[in-house]
Copies of this chain bind each other. A is one copy, B any other.
Amino acid sequence: MSKKISIAIDAMGGDNSPDKTLEGIKIFLDKNFSNNDFILNIFGKENELKAKLRELKINSGKIKIFNSEAVISNSETPLTAIKNSKNTSMWNCISHQLEGNSDISLSAGNTGVLLVISKMILKMMDGVSKPALAGLWPNKKGMNIVLDLGANVECNEQNLIDFAKLGSALFKSIFSKEIAKVALLNIGSEEIKGTELLKNSSKMLRQLSKNKDNFIYNGYIEGNEIMNGKSNVIVTDGFTGNIALKTAEGTANFITTNLKKSLNENIFSKISLLFSFHSLKKFKEKLDPRKYNGAIFLGLNGPVVKSHGGTDSKGFYYSIDLCYRIIKGNLISEIKKNLIYHTNDKK
């Protein structure tokens, strides 16, 4: 038997934890009832966790509890959090991963602190200039990886190249049968458009991807093309990526709120809901943001996943599932392949 996939889970981070996190774990265990290739290492206040596990009737050999008396709050800055970090659930998660006892860590806690702690403990991977936060984003044909979503406000050419390598490795680890197609987010598709930084990065990416099969480079795309499915690894700096992601969230929210209002405005539209119930349910499910929950922190000696703090148990389940798929898809070896490949390429 090969080594089990081990996931370190900070059970205390985010709203309504550990209730939410343990309920998410229960969904994951139920769905993977007959699957024995993983172990969940759960960090938090042991007594609280055990009481909740009893309540949820979770009595599984696939989980291990690690007592961590302290919790990093959302109001803490990285500096105070590091000072007070001893025996916090978040810190203990990442340390467990560093010691080789977990393959990946998951937390719904304080984002800023998680990024700083992860980088401090796990350290940068050789050959990567900056780590990046990557997210899943639906497109017409399936799913995009978009990065950076906000870890790096300012980036240089090498950072963007690294994001392309990291993002395409992540894409291949999750969607093993598909080809990674990289695009640079810009304000026009012509070669002359955008900043000098983007023009230089584009030239370098075109060179790197020439006659190679680890990713295809599709050139620039504009904001309205992110979801058309022609590219699936969208590379940008952390400022632009964060604005794009949140603008898309706001737009989706605006439209669905208006749709709901319209479909509830009179007796006819309410009758229509009876007939369209199943179709609208499927529509809603496809756009359910919980399915895309989990931003992946890439470029360290091991991946760390950040769940949305405000998500519910189902959203938290999706982020556990994401961790599982990432490790099952051999993310780290995919990244190393991309890095080595291109290092050799430069010689």
Contacts and interface: CB of A to CB of B under 8 A. Distances in A.
Contacts of A248: 223, 247-248, 250-251
Central interface residue in A225, A228, A272, by most chain B CB within 10 Å = A272
A154 B198 CA distance: 13
Interface string A321-346: 00000000000000000000000000
A250 B276 contact: no
Interface stretch (A64-72, A156-164, A238-246): A238-246
A153 B247 contact: no
Interface in A119-175: 138-140, 150, 153-154
Nearest to A246: B223
Contacts of A257: 140
Interface string A180-217: 00000101000000110000000000000000000000
Contacts of A276: 262-263, 268-269, 272-273, 276
A280 interface: yes
A226 interface: yes
Contact of A140 (B153, B225, B244, B254): B254
B242 A240 contact: no
User: What 8 pairs between A and B have smallest CB-CB spacing?
Assistant: A223-B246, A272-B275, A272-B276, A223-B247, A224-B250, A269-B279, A262-B283, A272-B272
B244 A243 contact: yes
A274 to B, nearest CB: 7
A48 to B, nearest CB: 30
B258 A245 contact: no
A257 B255 CA distance: 12
A274 B259 CA distance: 16
A279 B263 contact: yes
A31 B125 CA distance: 65
A194 B150 CA distance: 10
A275 to B, nearest CB: 3
Given A240-B240, A259-B259, 17 more contacts: A138-B254, A139-B254, A154-B195, A223-B248, A223-B249, A224-B249, A248-B248, A258-B283, A258-B286, A262-B279, A265-B279, A266-B278, A268-B279, A269-B278, A269-B280, A272-B276, A276-B276
B242 A187 contact: yes
Contacts of A246: 187, 222-225
Given A227-B250, A246-B223, A254-B138, A275 B279 contact: no
A56 interface: no
A243 B280 CA distance: 30
A269 B278 CA distance: 8
Contact of A228 (B247, B250, B263, B274): B250
Contacts of A268: 275-276, 278-279
